[in-house]
Structure 1
Amino acid sequence: MYQRILVPVDDSDTSRQALLEATRFCHNQHGKIRLAHVINLAQFTWGGAEFVDVGELQGNLRQSGRTVLEKAAALMQENGVEAETTLIEIWGGTISSAIIEDATNWPADIVVMGSHGWTGLDHLLLGSVAEGVVRHAPVPVLIIPIKRKK
């Protein structure tokens, strides 16, 4: 059984579904879950930043990230699982690379994450963090697809 489970989280339904799936790995066992949220602080340093307080925007981004992690940890606790949290700050680069680096350094046995399931133009324009993680992760990756309403 997996003992160290990394769960990248954001504030989406797919992330919530991945959290719930991760609880199935640890419920009544001694595994550890680490919830990770990645923020890109460099996004406010390019074009137009002279008109706003970059420090304030970055502070708001950090607070938003902490809130995402607190909600995710609370959901895990409601399901009987204690989880540690980490806010990963990057300055450019990709979110998937940051997740892979954390999976390596922590070290995780598996990564459990949601996928929005975008295809076509959406996928081309928005990319896929899950796809980037799957392609380069040093450990198995379990992708939880979004449950579409019928």
Structure 2
Amino acid sequence: MYQRIVVAMDGSDTSSKALKEASKLAREMSSIILLLHVREEIPIMWEPDGMNMVLMQDSLIAVIDTGKELLEAHRKMLTEQDIKVETKLIETYDGRIGSVISDEAQKWNADLLVVGTHGRKGIAHLLMGSVAEAVARSASMPVLLVRNS
């Protein structure tokens, strides 16, 4: 049923649980998994006069390298389980991670999108928002939300 499964990875325990669920499905259905990592942070520093911002190039490279390492470690783990896997690292600077994840899943022709959710409520949800909620609202394919509980 689900032949192409996208898993959004952010390095959290929650996204690892989402991957575990996606792996079960992939083994049962001989599916391929796309591990997707979206980076939105822009490491910047303001100059002393406060008027100009300067990209901290070393920090930017470190952030990207961390994403690549995350994807590679999980790719290797899935490959060892005989699960077909691809990886993709996306950089975005517009703060719409949920939409970026949904858009990439659609471009890849995913049958299922798997995302971990922290299950925040109340003021924490209001202040931090929810990438998982944004994914669920914008995705054109079924979304499996995996709670960290």
Q: TM-score range by the shorter chain?
A: 0.7 to 0.9
Distance 1:124 1:131 in 2: 12
SS where residue 116 of structure 2 aligns?
A: strand
- 2:33: which partner in 1? 33
Distance 1:126 1:72 in 2: 26
Distance 2:88 2:53 in 1: 31
Q: Percent identity?
A: 39
Residues 49-74 of structure 1, C-alpha deviations (whole Å, 9 max, x = no match): 66865222211111011011122223
Residue 48 of structure 1 aligns with an amino acid whose one-letter code is: W
Aligned residues: 145
SS where residue 64 of structure 1 aligns?
A: helix
- 1:54: which partner in 2? 56
- 1:21: which partner in 2? 21
Distance 1:103 1:130 in 2: 14
Matches within 5 A, 1:76-91: 76-91=78-93
Residues 12-65 of structure 1, C-alpha deviations (whole Å, 9 max, x = no match): 111111111001111154311100000115x335x6266865222211111011
- TM-score, structure 2 length as denominator? 0.88
- 1:136: which partner in 2? 138
1:97 aligns with 2:138: no
Deviation at 1:92, TM superposition (A): 1.9
Unaligned stretches of 5+ in structure 1?
none
SS where residue 77 of structure 2 aligns?
A: helix
Distance 2:147 2:10 in 1: 14
Deviation at 1:110, TM superposition (A): 0.8
Residues 106-147 of structure 1, C-alpha deviations (whole Å, 9 max, x = no match): 111110111111111111111100000001100000001112
